[in-house]
Amino acid sequence: MSLTNLLDLLPAEIESLMESLGAPRYRARQIVDWIYRKGVTDLDRMANLPRELRLALAERACVDVPVVERRTPSQDGSQKFVFRLGDGARVQSVLMPDGDRLTLCVSTQVGCGFGCAFCLTGAMGLERNLTTGEITGQVLSAARSMTTSERITHIVYMGMGEPLANYQPTVRSLRLLTDPLAFGLSSRRITVSTVGLVSGIEKLAREDLRVNLAVSLHATSNRTRSRLMPVNNGFPIEALLAACRRFPLPFRQRMTFEYVLLDGVNDSPEDARELARLLRGIRAKINLIPFNDWHGAGFSRPSLPRILAFQQTLLERGVTATVRWSKGEDIGAACGQLSEAVVA
Ligand code: SAH
Ligand code: SF4
């Protein structure tokens, strides 16, 4: 029988596991505390558990944390982690310091099946979904490799893969990140980015999670969006924005729209005006992401004046728009540059 990875279980499920082993439920709290508070993943080192329980547990479960295979610092202070998973697959996370924030960008799939034309992860295709524990394990593993004074304050689901296409493990990982017994992060400090999977957005709207949502829009006409993002054939702009309008935003929170700027493709003044018009009535802010190049991409980044003009047009129309200069470009860790060969 294969062992259950305790990182795949919510605290309540570890309680049930304890019951099934004939142990009191409060033992689950102790285990969760060892893993998420103390960073101890070796069952033998969980000193306040009776020896018999540790032995019985070891026959049923383990704590399988992604192994840091490489850690590459960038000149801008960010770091790329390459994790090796149990089956040899690799995923990446990027740690980005910004003032007193320390944000970890996590992956939800090995590769991605959505094939957005500008994205290197998309060019890999989908290898497989990550499990809950492989998603939260990136946070745990990165946190364990940091000094005691450093602490991850924010999580963004913007690494490899489409979170809402791996729905259950993504939602369960969000529950663990926000569970006071586990990571205990505020849901306001977590952002899930989606390619615009309307069915997934609607499902997420019905969860009691209250995390931030970022939507990859990237174009103002269906013609251009379908060319850039095949998902638009199933979920065109009108359907996507209608789902965004229905999404229950927490008090004073705004939805983020990501817009990658591609020279001569979606960066005209008319595009900027149309973008402002499309988002009317949505509590939105726009993240403009100048395209990050990769070999063979076939797109280029607009000139700086053109980027700033696009932003200015939005600002003049009362739309909050920031330019996100990606971190880690020199180490292949910027938005859309994540890719890894699959097996060693
Ligand atoms: N699959 C999700 C989240 C991962 S991608 C999504 O698509 O939203 C995170 C962001 O990086 C998305 O907005 C994506 O469109 C953007 N991105 C992808 N490739 C890029 C590139 N080469 N340059 C800039 N941004 C890119
Ligand atoms: Fe997948 Fe997002 Fe890349 Fe599109 S942009 S291919 S959805 S990771």
Tens digits of residue pLDDT in 82-132: 999 999 999 999 999 999 999 999 999 999 999 999 999 999 999 999 999
Ligand 1 center to residue 119 CA distance, Å? Answer: 6
- Return the ligand 2 atom nearest residue 121 CA: 3
Closest protein CA for atom 9 of ligand 1: 158
What whole-number distance in Å separates Cα of residue 325 and Cα of residue 309? 16
What does the pLDDT average to over 224-228? 98
The pLDDT value recorded for residue 85 is: 96
Q: Is the pLDDT of residue 12 over 60?
A: yes
What does the pLDDT average to over 226-235? 98
What does the pLDDT average to over 17-38? 97
Ligand 2 center to residue 119 CA distance, Å? Answer: 6
Question: Could you read off the pLDDT of 233-288 as tens digits, one per residue?
Answer: 999 999 999 999 999 998 889 999 999 999 999 999 999 999 999 999 999 999 99
- Return the ligand 1 atom nearest residue 287 CA: 13
pLDDT band at 341 (very low <50, low <70, confident <90, very high): very low
- Return the ligand 2 atom nearest residue 162 CA: 7
Task: Report the mean per-residue pLDDT for the chain.
Answer: 94
Would you list the DSSP string of 31-46? HHIIIIIS----GGG-
Please tell me if the CB atom of residue 162 comes closer than 6 angstroms to any atom of ligand 1: yes
The pLDDT value recorded for residue 49 is: 98
* DSSP-based three-state secondary structure for 235: coil
Please report the beta strands in 233-340, taking only residues with DSSP state E, as ranges in sequence order.
255-261, 284-290, 320-323
Q: Which residue has the higher pLDDT, 6 or 336?
A: 6
What does the pLDDT average to over 153-163? 97
Would you list the DSSP string of 77-145? S-EEEEEEPTTS-EEEEEEEEETTEEEEE--SEEE-SS--TT-HHHHH-EEEEPPHHHHHHHHHHHHHT
Q: Which ligand is nearest to the CA of 290?
A: 1
pLDDT band at 342 (very low <50, low <70, confident <90, very high): very low
Would you list the DSSP string of 305-334? HHHHHHHHHHHHTT-EEEE---S-GGGT-S
The pLDDT value recorded for residue 147 is: 81
Please tell me if the CB atom of residue 194 comes closer than 6 angstroms to any atom of ligand 1: yes
Please tell me if the CB atom of residue 329 comes closer than 6 angstroms to any atom of ligand 1: no
Ligand 1 center to residue 335 CA distance, Å? Answer: 5
What does the pLDDT average to over 154-170? 97
Q: Is the pLDDT of residue 337 over 90?
A: no
The pLDDT value recorded for residue 180 is: 95
What whole-number distance in Å separates Cα of residue 168 and Cα of residue 108? 11
The pLDDT value recorded for residue 340 is: 65
- Return the ligand 2 atom nearest residue 115 CA: 6
Closest protein CA for atom 8 of ligand 2: 161
Ligand 2 center to residue 122 CA distance, Å? Answer: 5
Question: Could you read off the pLDDT of 164-217 as tens digits, one per residue?
Answer: 999 999 999 999 999 999 999 999 999 999 999 999 999 999 999 999 999 999
Could you tell me the CA-to-CA distances from 4 to 57, 62, 63, 130 in Å, in that order? 10, 6, 8, 15
pLDDT band at 1 (very low <50, low <70, confident <90, very high): low
The pLDDT value recorded for residue 282 is: 95
Q: Is the pLDDT of residue 343 over 70?
A: no
Please report, rounded to a whole number, the percentage of residues in the chain having pLDDT higher than 70.
Answer: 98
Place of tokens 């999670």: 209
Ligand 1 center to residue 85 CA distance, Å? Answer: 23
Please tell me if the CB atom of residue 287 comes closer than 6 angstroms to any atom of ligand 1: no
Please tell me if the CB atom of residue 339 comes closer than 6 angstroms to any atom of ligand 1: no
Place of tokens 């076939």: 298
Q: Is the pLDDT of residue 344 over 50?
A: no
- Return the ligand 2 atom nearest residue 165 CA: 7
Please tell me if the CB atom of residue 336 comes closer than 6 angstroms to any atom of ligand 1: yes
The pLDDT value recorded for residue 84 is: 96
- Return the ligand 2 atom nearest residue 119 CA: 3
